[in-house]
Chains A and B, each alone.
Chain A
Amino acid sequence: MKLALAVIVAIILAALAGPALLHWPYDAIDWDSVRAPPLSPGHFFGTDSVGRDLLARTLVGTRITLAVAIAAASVSLLIGVAWGAIAGWAGGRTDETMMRIVDALYALPFMFVVILLMVVFGRSILLVFLGIGAVEWLTMARVVRGQVIALKQRPFILAAEAAGARPAGIIAGHLLPNVAGIAIAYLLLTVPQVVMVESFLSFLGLGVQEPLTSLGILVKDGADDMDITPHVLLLPGGILVAILVSLTVVGERLRSRLTA
Chain B
Amino acid sequence: MPHLIRRRLMTALPTLAAILILSFLLMRVAPGGPFDGERPLDPETRAALVTAYGLDKPLPAQLALYVGRIAHGDFGPSLVYRDFTVTDLVRQGLPVSLTLGALAMVLALVIGVGVGLAAAIRPDGHRDRAWMLIMTLLSAMPTFVTGPLLALIFALSLQWLPVSGLEGPSSLILPVVALALPVAGAIAKLTRAGLAEALAQDHVRTARARGLSPLRVLIVHALKPALVPVASYAGPAAAGLLTGAVVIETIFALPGLGRYFVQGALNRDYPLVLAVVTIYAALIILFNLFADLIYGWLDPRARG
Contacts and interface: CB of A to CB of B under 8 A. Distances in A.
Q: A and B bound? A: yes
Interface of A: 100, 103-104, 107-113, 115-122, 192, 196, 199-200, 203-206, 216, 219-220, 222-223, 226-227, 230, 233, 237, 240-241, 244-245, 248-249
A188 to B, nearest CB: 14
Nearest to A220: B144
A243 B102 CA distance: 30
Contact of A245 (B19, B140, B284): B140
B242 A200 contact: no
Interface of B: 11-12, 14-15, 18-19, 22-23, 26-27, 29-32, 136-137, 140-142, 144-145, 147-149, 151-152, 156, 235, 239, 242-243, 246-247, 250-251, 261-262, 265-266, 268, 273, 276-277, 280-281, 284-285, 288
B151 A226 contact: yes
| Residue of B14, B32, B140 with most chain A CB atoms under a 10 A cut-off | B140
A227 B157 CA distance: 9
Does more than half of chain B's interface fall in helix, strand or loop, or is it mixed? helix
Does more than half of chain A's interface fall in helix, strand or loop, or is it mixed? helix
Contacts of A245: 136-137, 140-141
Contacts, number: 123
A38 B17 CA distance: 53
Given A109-B242, A223-B147, 20 more contacts: A103-B11, A104-B14, A107-B15, A109-B243, A111-B243, A112-B277, A113-B19, A115-B261, A115-B273, A120-B26, A206-B262, A206-B265, A226-B148, A226-B151, A233-B149, A237-B145, A237-B149, A241-B137, A245-B137, A245-B141
B281 A204 contact: no
B57 to A, nearest CB: 20
A135 to B, nearest CB: 12
24 contacts: A104-B18, A107-B12, A108-B15, A109-B242, A109-B280, A120-B27, A120-B30, A200-B144, A203-B144, A203-B247, A205-B262, A206-B265, A216-B144, A219-B145, A223-B148, A226-B151, A230-B152, A233-B152, A237-B148, A237-B149, A240-B142, A241-B140, A241-B141, A241-B145
